[in-house]
Copies of this chain bind each other. A is one copy, B any other.
Amino acid sequence: MKGVDSLKEKNTTNSPIASQNYSDNHKSNNSSNKRKTKNISGTRREKPPVQIIPLGGLEEIGKNMTVIRCDGQAVIVDCGMAFPDDDLLGVDAVIPDFSYLGEIENEIQGLVLTHGHEDHIGGIPFLLHEYSIPIYGTALTIGLVENKLKEDGSSSLSLLHTVESGSTFKLGKFSIEMIRVNHSIPDSSALAITTPGGVIIHTGDFKIDYTPVFEKTADLNRLGEYGKNGVLALLCDSTNAERPGNSVSESHVGASFESLFSRAEGKRVIIATFSSNVQRIQQIIDFAENHNRKIAVSGRSMVGTVELAQRLGYLHYKEKTLISMDEISRYRMEDLVIITTGSQGEPMSALSRMAAGTHRQVTITDKDFIIISATPIPGNEKTVNTVINSLLKLGSDVIYESMYEVHASGHACQNEIKLMLSLVKPKFFMPVHGEYKHLVKNAETAYELGYDRKHVILAEIGDVVSVTSRSASITDTVESGRVMVDGIGVGDVGIAVLRDRQHLASDGMVVVVCSIDENNGNLISGPDIISRGFVYMKESEELIDEAKRTAAAVLSRFSGKNKRRRNELKSALREEIGRLLYQRTKRNPMVLTVVMEI
């Protein structure tokens, strides 16, 4: 770690709590305060402002990443990826634009991870291609990152540091406490980042579960202590801010499972869920063991996470409970539970292969009882429905979201956000993680508690939000945006390429080819026409012939013309062929012209 001692020099207590002065400030009901700040040594000076620079996760779902900068040093919170929207044709993943990090490279003390979901860690391999930054997180998070880096063939494993939930560690002038919160993956943390300018709390993804399974309730007391001592700004998960009330407890899902396991008697149970939802998997394992069933695990990421979680002590099962997929044929259907990936209908996932009848070890019949224990992420509804329909047609029972409580969201609803705000009592409140509508709803939740618009920060990615005890304002913007990953290409698919893909996708393309004499422009060979994705060629011979005649007519117009005039030949061909095809079909294929001069 670099420069871990500087904070200690300023604050002789071990508490990572912001200075008394700011806390006074807060107690005076957020009134503006002109008194000078007093530092430990007794001399008066202004505290440095804290800059909060979101590089992802605002006005979008995914690729969460935030830079916290103060007094010439910076820490990064999370480095996620996003799944591409439907309009990003052929794009595999979207990651934040890291350009800004280049400007502050020397200031960066480390990257701290709130938890191990892809939208918080998925960008790390790409980040480490460019920068060497030490990374901190709880054991499961670091384990998942390690798997990811090994797959990437990365040599940066030494940058990974495991810290304990509830512990405090130092990064340069910053002190960071990992505060336990509940979420749909174990060991999730809110971060209390004590900077020379005040305390920033980032909730990460969180919910508050009073009856969690295999873990404790979010550390409300610690959050309350920070609140009592003064918090400059709270960055708060907005994902479920549209929902009133409280999220459903993970233990509630257990009650559903109990009755479903009874209904499934005599049948094989297949449960699809997120591989990262280790608490859910532990519940399934416990029910399986209670019902004397063996468990097999299908799907690469599910196998990997179960192995990792068990090795790190997050998952517990009897030695003989787990069998391999190749062994399932040796057991009776009613003695089995299969835990599988594919709860989002992902086309190549294990559940999709079962539904399509192409899974190597599993053939679905009316002896199967299938539970999809996850809510479709917006945009995935159709693929999930396709899988459900196929499984039903194979005769199996399928239990899915709209029928039973077989999933509980991992994100705080309005009451939990209000509780977080009431405990932490931040001077400034900044909604993060969500589309604009989620940020707005989260802001409105704060307004309900009496916050005014000056103390609620609605920012965009790339904004530099400067916060002092007196005010918060956007003082600058930095380079930010989305970088598209396609294959091994990072950032080489841009707007122009995507526009072409959209054009090709909607109407296909037509290539007009000919060769002409370079001296006089006379036709030597062709014109030929090739098309793909436009019309079915064999059934449209007439149209293609007509296009050839049109091309020949254009070519003969240019025949004998000098070379300069022939520059217009290609655009004339493109225009006239395009016009003809549109007239005949009301479609606009991409028209490419290849004129070889010989």
**Contacts A497-B534, A507-B90 given: A382-B382 contact, CB under 8 Å?**
no
The reply to whether the CB of A378 lies closer than 8 angstroms to some CB of chain B is yes
Evaluate whether A536 and B494 lie within 8 angstroms (CB atoms) in the complex, with A381-B378, A402-B243, A509-B509 already known.
yes
- Cα A587 to Cα B242 in complex, Å, equals 39
Complex: A440 Cα to B533 Cα, angstroms = 36
The reply to whether A594 and B513 form a contact with Cβ atoms under 8 Å apart is yes
* Interface 0/1 of A555-598, CB less than 8 Å to B: 00000000000000000000000000000011100101010111
Given A59-B389, A501-B508, does the pair A535, B492 have CB atoms closer than 8 Å?
A: yes
Complex alpha-carbon distance, A400 and B505, angstroms: 32
Does A3 sit within 8 A of B, measured CB to CB?
A: no
Q: Are B86 and A488 in contact (CB under 8 A)?
A: no
Interface size for chain A: under 10, 10 to 19, 20 to 34, or 35 or more residues?
A: 35 or more
Find A86's partner among B382, B436, B489 (CB 8 Å cutoff): B382
Is there a chain B Cβ closer than 8 Å to A89's Cβ?
yes
Distance in Å: Cβ of A119 to nearest Cβ of chain B: 16
Residues of B with C-beta under 8 A to A528? 594, 596
Tell me whether A408 is interfacial, beta carbon within 8 Å: no
Q: CA of A59 to CA of B390 in the docked complex: distance in angstroms?
A: 10
Determine whether A324 belongs to the interface, using a CB cutoff of 8 Å to chain B.
Answer: no
CA distance A508 to B585 in the complex (A): 23
The answer to whether A587 and B388 touch across the interface, beta carbons within 8 angstroms, is no
Contact mask for chain A residues 117-134; partner B; CB cutoff 8 A; 1 contact, 0 none: 000000000000000000
> Is A362's beta carbon under 8 Å from chain B?
no
Cβ of A392 < 8 Å from any Cβ of B? yes
The one of B492, B508, B515 that contacts A536, using a Cβ cutoff of 8 Å:
B492
Which chain A residues in 503-548 approach chain B with CB under 8 Å?
503-509, 511, 513-515, 524-526, 528, 530, 532-536, 539-540
Decide if A497 touches B381 in the complex (CB within 8 Å): no
CA distance A418 to B532 in the complex (A): 51
Query: In the complex, what residues of B have CB within 8 A of residue A514's CB?
Result: 596
Determine whether the beta carbon of B515 is less than 8 Å from that of A508.
Answer: no
Q: Is A403 on the interface with B (CB-CB < 8 A)?
A: yes
Contact yes or no, B389 A596, CB < 8 A: no
Whether A525 and B596, one on each chain, are in contact in the complex, defined by CB atoms closer than 8 angstroms, is yes
Q: Does B505 contact A392, Cβ atoms closer than 8 Å? A: no
Cα–Cα distance between A157 and B473 once the two chains are bound (Å): 65
Taken residue by residue from 432 to 462, chain A's Cβ proximity to chain B (1 for < 8 Å, 0 otherwise) reads as 0001110010000000000000000000000
- How distant is A358 from chain B, measured CB to nearest CB, in Å? 18
Interface of A is mostly: mixed
> Cβ of A502: which chain B residues have Cβ within 8 Å of it?
505
Q: Which residues of B contact A85 (CB under 8 A)?
A: 382
A313 beta carbon closer than 8 Å to chain B = no
Which residues of chain A in 65-96 are interfacial with respect to chain B, using CB atoms and an 8 Å cutoff? 85-86, 89-90
Q: Contact between A437 and B596 (Cβ–Cβ < 8 Å)?
A: no
Q: Indicate if the CB atoms of A508 and B500 lie closer than 8 Å.
A: yes
- A371 to B477 CA separation, bound complex (whole angstroms): 33
A379 and B378 form a contact (CB under 8 A): no
Q: Is A333 an interface position by the 8 A CB rule? A: no
Known: A535-B497, A536-B492. A89 touches B505 (CB 8 A): yes
0/1 per residue, A294-309, Cβ < 8 Å to B? 0000000000000000
Q: How far is the CA of A90 from the CA of B506 in the complex (A)?
A: 4
Q: Which of B86, B437, B492, B585 contacts A398 (CB 8 A)?
A: B437
Could you say which residues of chain B place their CB within 8 Å of the CB of A32? none
User: In the complex the two chains form, is B487's CB within 8 Å of A437's CB?
Assistant: no
Query: Which residues of chain A (222-246) have a CB below 8 Å from chain B?
Result: 242-243
> Is A496 part of the contact surface with B, judged by Cβ < 8 Å?
yes
Q: Is A316 an interface residue (CB 8 A)?
A: no
Query: Which residues of chain B are near A524, meaning CB under 8 Å?
Result: 598
A27 within 8 A of B: no
Is B597's CB under 8 angstroms from A525's CB? yes
A598 and B528 alpha carbons, distance in the complex (Å): 13
20 further A-B contacts with Cβ under 8 Å, apart from A85-B382, A90-B505, A487-B586, are A90-B507, A90-B508, A378-B382, A378-B385, A379-B382, A388-B437, A392-B437, A487-B587, A496-B536, A497-B508, A497-B535, A500-B532, A503-B533, A504-B504, A504-B508, A509-B509, A524-B598, A528-B594, A528-B596, A530-B594
Can you list 22 A-B pairs with a CB-CB distance of less than 8 A? A86-B86, A90-B505, A90-B506, A90-B507, A90-B508, A378-B381, A393-B436, A487-B587, A492-B536, A492-B539, A492-B540, A497-B508, A500-B532, A501-B506, A504-B505, A504-B508, A511-B511, A513-B513, A515-B525, A515-B596, A528-B596, A530-B594
A-B pairs with lowest CB-CB distance, top 6? A487-B586, A505-B505, A504-B504, A500-B533, A90-B506, A501-B533
